[in-house]
């Protein structure tokens, strides 16, 4: 996540537009969606985002079958899933049941018996969502999903009967709404045993389906604001911490820098083979800081994903090591479980930027740390970290 960027996503492409950062008063509550004239054939709809867990994730309010839900907005996945009212909390690593308090799901949850528009899928299926920091297993279904006053009928989604968020959901999150390509869907034919790629059922995310139904123009944008270290450490929900605009870009001040990203589902060379990229992505993004020239081509990532659901800025291993070595005083340690360096919150960070398609975007120093509530007073996570063991040596913004 780079809060200094507003991300514009389109079925036909993706752009990132830096904007002037202005603090938002914490007294603001989530406002209803606003409409305005867009460049396309439809009006723009702008919906406020809340920052959960002190701003570690961005959520939006939806309804499914008339039932209110709070979901994380995720450009790095395609599925919409909600925990069932009777969800079993499981360990992220072992998938074994654990105390429900450790998952700390939100008060929503989906109950098919309370929806007059619920439809089970007409075949045996399994929803098997898996994420870097959680999982959601259950079944697929269809219902009416309303976002920003825009209603999409008969939308396929997942009902999570077993689920978990690593570190818990702060009693504030009921699921995830993915905005990415249908090729990333986690719905499969059968009972979930011995599944293969041929069992995958690709279906439209809410964004893709709304565009296909002609309800919105085929683009969206995200504006992501930051919180203070004090609010980050509180772990609480911060209202009105950004916005999702459907159909284009909101009326905000920008720095007049922009870049267009390649569509999802394209192939790029990676080492000795080719990789099919299914995400909103940039090719050959270069990370810049004093001394990065010594890294040569190792400071460039062949593939860089735009993922609003990832808190860290994930960079190639060599970049993460060299950048954090330049922090003064030096990081206390690298925590492999967190995938982050632990630093003093008042540490001095070197300048840091990313160059995409010859356009350089400079990060503000305030966006290079995050004050997690579980860390001792005065200590923060460095926002720049390496890929996990399960990731290729690429990058995520």
pLDDT at 16 over 90: no
Comparison of pLDDT for 218 and 22, the residue scoring more: 218
Q: Which tokens go with 192?
A: 């979930």
Q: Give the whole-angstrom CA distance, residue 45 versus residue 148.
A: 7
| Of 74, 79, 217, 393, catalytic | 74
Residues of the chain with CATH 2.40.70.10: 21-246, 262-396
111 is catalytic: no
CATH code for the structural domain at 262-396: 2.40.70.10
Q: Check residues 117 and 180 and name the one with the higher pLDDT.
A: 117
The answer regarding whether domain 21-246 maps to CATH 2.40.50.140 reads no
- For all residues of the chain together, what is the average pLDDT? 83
Which pLDDT value is given to residue 137? Answer: 93
Q: How do 119-120 and 134-147 pair as beta strands?
A: antiparallel
- pLDDT of res. 250: 81
> So what's the pLDDT on residue 31?
45
Token output for 171:
């009693």
Q: For the segment 29-72, what is each residue's pLDDT rounded down to a tens digit?
A: 334 566 665 555 678 899 999 999 888 899 999 999 999 999 99
What is the tens place of the pLDDT at every residue in 238-248? 999 999 999 88
Instruction: Give mean pLDDT, residues 154-175.
Output: 88
More confident residue, 208 or 275: 208
pLDDT at 389: 63
Q: What is the pLDDT of residue 391?
A: 59
Cα-to-chain-centroid distance, residue 81: 14
Beta strands at 13-18 and 34-36: parallel, antiparallel or unpaired: unpaired
174 is catalytic: no
pLDDT one-digit tens code per residue, 292-320: 999 999 999 888 888 888 888 899 999 99
pLDDT value, residue 274: 66
Report the candidate in 128, 151, 189, 164 with the shortest Cα–Cα distance to residue 66. Answer: 151
pLDDT tens for 79-95 read 999 999 999 999 888 88
Note whether 161 and 135 are within 8 A (CB).
no
DSSP per-residue string spanning 215-276: SS-SEEEEEE----HHHHHHT--EEEEEEEEETS--S--B-S--EEEBPSSEEEEETTEEEE
- Measured in Å, how far apart are the chain's first and last C-alpha atoms? 5
Region 201-217: what's the mean pLDDT? Answer: 93
Among candidate residues 50, 143, 217, 307, the one labeled active-site is: 307
How many whole angstroms separate alpha carbon 267 and alpha carbon 274? 6
């Amino acid at each position: 996540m780079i809060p200094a960027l507003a991300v514009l996503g389109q079925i036909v492409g993706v752009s990132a537009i830096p904007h002037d950062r202005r603090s938002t008063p914490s007294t603001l509550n989530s406002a209803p969606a606003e409409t305005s004239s867009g460049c396309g054939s439809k009006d723009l709809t702008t919906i406020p985002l809340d920052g959960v867990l002190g701003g570690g994730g961005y959520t939006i309010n939806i309804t499914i079958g008339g039932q209110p839900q709070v979901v994380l907005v995720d450009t790095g996945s395609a599925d919409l899933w909600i925990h069932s009212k009777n969800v079993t909390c499981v360990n992220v690593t072992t998938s074994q049941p654990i105390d429900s308090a450790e998952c700390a799901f939100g008060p929503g949850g989906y109950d098919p018996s309370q929806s007059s528009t619920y439809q089970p899928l007409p075949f045996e299926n399994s929803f098997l969502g898996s994420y870097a920091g959680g999982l959601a297993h259950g079944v697929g279904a269809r219902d009416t999903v309303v976002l920003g006053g825009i209603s999409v009928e008969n939308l396929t989604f997942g009902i999570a009967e077993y689920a978990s968020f690593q570190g818990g959901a702060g009693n504030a999150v009921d699921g995830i709404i993915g905005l990415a390509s249908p090729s990333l869907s986690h719905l499969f034919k059968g009972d979930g045993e011995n599944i293969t790629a041929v069992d995958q059922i690709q279906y439209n995310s809410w964004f893709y389906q709304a565009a296909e139904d002609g309800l919105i123009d085929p683009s969206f944008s995200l504006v992501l604001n930051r919180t203070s270290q004090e609010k980050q450490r509180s772990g609480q929900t911060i209202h009105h911490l950004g916005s999702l605009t459907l159909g284009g870009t909101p009326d905000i001040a920008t720095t007049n820098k922009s870049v267009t990203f390649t569509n999802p589902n394209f192939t790029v060379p990676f080492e000795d083979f080719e990789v099919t990229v299914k995400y909103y992505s940039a090719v050959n993004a270069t990370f810049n800081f004093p001394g990065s020239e010594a890294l040569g081509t190792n400071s460039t990532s062949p593939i860089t994903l735009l993922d609003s659901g990832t808190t860290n800025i994930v960079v190639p291993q060599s970049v993460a090591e060299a950048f954090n070595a330049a922090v003064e005083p030096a990081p206390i340690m690298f925590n492999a479980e967190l995938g982050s360096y632990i630093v003093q919150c008042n540490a001095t960070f070197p300048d840091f930027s990313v160059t995409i398609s010859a356009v350089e975007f400079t990060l503000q120093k305030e966006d290079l740390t995050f004050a997690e509530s579980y860390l001792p007073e005065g200590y923060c996570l460095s926002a720049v970290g390496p890929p996990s063991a399960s990731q290729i040596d690429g990058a995520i913004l």
